[in-house]
Structure 1
Amino acid sequence: MPRVSRKQADLNREIIVEAATRLFRERGLHGISVVDVMAAAGLTHGGFYGHFESKEALAREASERAFKQVGTRWRERAAAGEDKASSRRALIEPYLSAHSRDNPGDSCPVVAFAGDMCHESAESGLREPFMDGLNRLLDSFSQLMESSDPGENRQQALVQYSMMVGALTLARATRGEALSDEILETVCRYLTAAKPDAPSPV
């Protein structure tokens, strides 16, 4: 059998990572097998280890890519806003939409991977890309808050993003029920109000 050219090998690797990025977001970091990934990529199972040492190595790269894709999307949407309030709406409304709920393979990696992270050890190679990606998203969101105090902006970003993640998770868990749409619509309306209530001190 003829050897695959370097150009084709690089293309195959890109196809594998892209397929894995979507599948891991749909099913979680431990919800798919190497066979699943290669089938989605349209390649044979035997070629996997020519590109990656293990499924965890692929999961790490796919996680990094998922966060990078969402970070780029957030920056583009925020840049289209006329002010910080409209930039926040440009992030929140698509996030808390039926499309986002129904298309997890192209949606928030925090929602997709947080459950898996609850069971990963502190030494897990999967935690680093998750924490890096989450912190970058929070930093981006903090910049869209309107306080002159960076600490207050960070607090507001934590509260609002946690609400977004929780709402999207619950909406997926109740998909097909009226409650699912109600959750998305109510939380979206609350967060895009002129001034959502500040969190009460604990």
Structure 2
Amino acid sequence: MKITKTQSLANRAHIVDTASELFRERGYDGVGVAELMATAGFTQGGFYKHFGSKADLMAEAAENSLSQSLASTCDLDVAGFVNMYVSRDHRDGRGGGCTMAALCGDAARQSDELKATFASGVENTLAALEEKYQAGLDATKQDVRAKMIDLLAHAIGAIMLSRACPDDSSLADEILEVCHAEIIASLALSPVSERLGM
């Protein structure tokens, strides 16, 4: 039975959503095409009707999940973003969590195309945070950007370090608690350029 173009697009979107979640849970090398398609409810042969390669799907899945992550935080101010991001819920919800925290390490060993997708996601997240950050009157645009780069790197690193510990480890919770407190405290500090003597 021939499927409609609308159904084909819906199937593709479902495969991308499934891949986004599986890749965040297990990494790019932890998921094969056959398993991915079976999980999405399709045969392996149908994969190449939608994608030229697994690398193509990886890039599309990353773009999809990075956009979803950004959209899910659009109503939060910067402190709200930190509260949501540097949390046990986010740490434990790998499949539905931030793509950067789940896959930055994997992306560093992938194609320039995938790295460009991640770079775009980082830029979009930084831009959203910069727009929401309530800086002091003397803070320059460069100061705000530096502050948000530091905040984002600190938040992603906190999740990655915490996930690297056993789930029931007190260290996993301690990392989140300390990093959360430090990031929130840093929001009230003077501009990064001033502290670095720039």
Compute the TM-score of the two structures, normalised by the length of structure 2: 0.88
1:118 maps to a residue whose letter is A
- Mapped partners of 1:155, 1:6: distance in 2: 45
For structure 2, the 5+ residue unaligned runs are: none
The residue aligned with 2:196 is 201
The residue aligned with 1:80 is none
Contact 1:190 1:196 in 2 (8 A): no
Cα offsets for 1:61-85 (capped at 9, x unmatched): 10100110011112122xxxxxxxx
| Structure 1 segment 1-202 matched on structure 2, within 5 A | 2-77=1-76, 87-120=77-110, 124-145=112-133, 146-147=135-136, 148-174=139-165, 175-193=167-185, 195-196=188-189, 199=192, 200-201=195-196
Contact 1:88 1:192 in 2 (8 A): no
- Mapped partners of 1:119, 1:18: distance in 2: 22
> 1:198 offset after TM fit, Å?
5.5
> 1:50 offset after TM fit, Å?
0.8
> 1:31 offset after TM fit, Å?
2.5
- Mapped partners of 1:26, 1:164: distance in 2: 19
- Mapped partners of 2:44, 2:50: distance in 1: 11
Using the TM superposition, name which of 30-39 and 131-140 deviates more.
30-39
Which runs of at least 4 in structure 1 moved beyond 3 Å after TM superposition? 196-200
Contact 2:69 2:98 in 1 (8 A): yes
> 1:36 offset after TM fit, Å?
2.1
For structure 1, the 5+ residue unaligned runs are: 78-86
- Mapped partners of 1:198, 1:183: distance in 2: 25
- Mapped partners of 2:82, 2:189: distance in 1: 13
Instruction: Give the paired residue count.
Output: 190
Seen in structure 2, the aligned counterparts of structure 1 residues 152 and 189 have a Cα distance that, compared at 3 Å, is same
Identity of aligned pairs, percent? 31
> 1:197 offset after TM fit, Å?
6.6
Cα offsets for 1:10-50 (capped at 9, x unmatched): 22111101101111111223331111211221111111111
> 1:53 offset after TM fit, Å?
0.9
Seen in structure 2, the aligned counterparts of structure 1 residues 197 and 24 have a Cα distance that, compared at 3 Å, is farther
- Mapped partners of 2:52, 2:127: distance in 1: 32
- Mapped partners of 1:150, 1:198: distance in 2: 10
User: Secondary structure at the residue paired with 1:76?
Assistant: coil
1:201 maps to a residue whose letter is L
- Mapped partners of 2:4, 2:147: distance in 1: 51
